[in-house]
Amino acid sequence: MNSIKSVLFAAMLGYKATIHPLKFKEFIISAMLTPLFTMLFYVSVKYVSYPSAMQKEGLVTVFLIIPAFTCIYYISRSINDDKYYGTVDILAISPTGLFMTKLLVQLFTLLEVVMVSVFWLVTLNYGLLASAFSFTDVLNLTYILVCASLSLVFFGLLLALSFSLLEDGLIVVNLAFTLVVILSTLTFDGEYSKLVTAVLPLNYFVEIAKGDLSQLPYGEIASISGIKSAVYLLLARVVYQAKRWILAE
C-alpha cells in the first residue's frame, strides 16, 4: 500500500511540477530559450574580442545574473502563491508536509527545465545549426547549463527555506534584487539595461506602491535576516567562482 501511495504521489508531483509553477507555456518557453541563451553567452565570452578585460568581465557578470534573477522570480512567485502548485490536490496522498511538497514541486520543475534544455541544446546544434559547435563545445555548453541550473536550484531551495515563515518579505527582497541589478548595468549601454529589466519582477514595485509597508512583519524580517544574508553571500560566491572559471577559459 505504501509503495502504491508513493508511486501515485510521485506521478501527481511530476504533473503538478510541469503544469502549475511555470505553467505549460512558460515551461516550454524557458526550456527553449535557455540553450539559446547559453550558446550566446558562450560565444560572447569565447570568441568575441573586447577592448578591455573589465568589459569582458562585466559581460560575464550580466549573463550570470540574468538567469539567477529569472530563477528567483519564478521561485518567489510560486512560493508566494499556492495556486501555482495545486498542493491541496496532492496533500491527501503526500508523505511529506506542505512546505516540503512545495520545495519538491519547485525542484522537479527546474530539473525538468534543465533536461529539456539540454535536449534542445543538442538538437539545435546538430539539427538546425549544422554542427556549428564542435562536440567539445557542446559538452562545455551542457556543463555550464547543468552546473548553473543545479546551483540555482540549490540557491532557490535555500531562498525558499529562508522565507518559509515570511512570504511578505519576498516583495522586499525582489525590490532589493531589482535595484542591485539595475545599478550593476549602469556601465553598459541602454540595450543591456532593457534586457536585464525585462526579466525582473518589476511588478513588485507596483505591489509595494499599492500596499501598506506598515503591515509588513518587521519582527520576522529581523529574525531571519541572518539566513537571508547567508543566502545572498552564497549566490555572490557562486557568481564569483563561475566568473573566475569562465574567464580562465
pTM of the model: 0.36
Grid cell 557568481 is found at 239
Is the pLDDT assigned to residue 45 strictly greater than 50? yes
Query: Mean pLDDT over residues 60-65, rounded?
Result: 56
Mean pLDDT (the chain) is 51
Q: Which three cell numbers stand for residue 17?
A: 511540477
| pLDDT at residue 99, as a whole number | 53
* Triad 199, 159, 212: Cα angle to 5°: 70
d(CA 153, CA 74): 11
Q: Helices marked H in 81-168 — which ranges?
A: 87-90, 98-123, 135-162
Q: Which of 44-48, 85-89, 128-132, 242-246 has the lowest mean pLDDT?
A: 85-89
d(CA 217, CA 195): 33
pLDDT per position as a tens digit, 169-207: 444 444 444 444 444 433 333 444 444 444 444 444 444
- Which CA distances in Å does 178 have to 66, 89, 131, 202, 234? 11, 34, 38, 7, 18
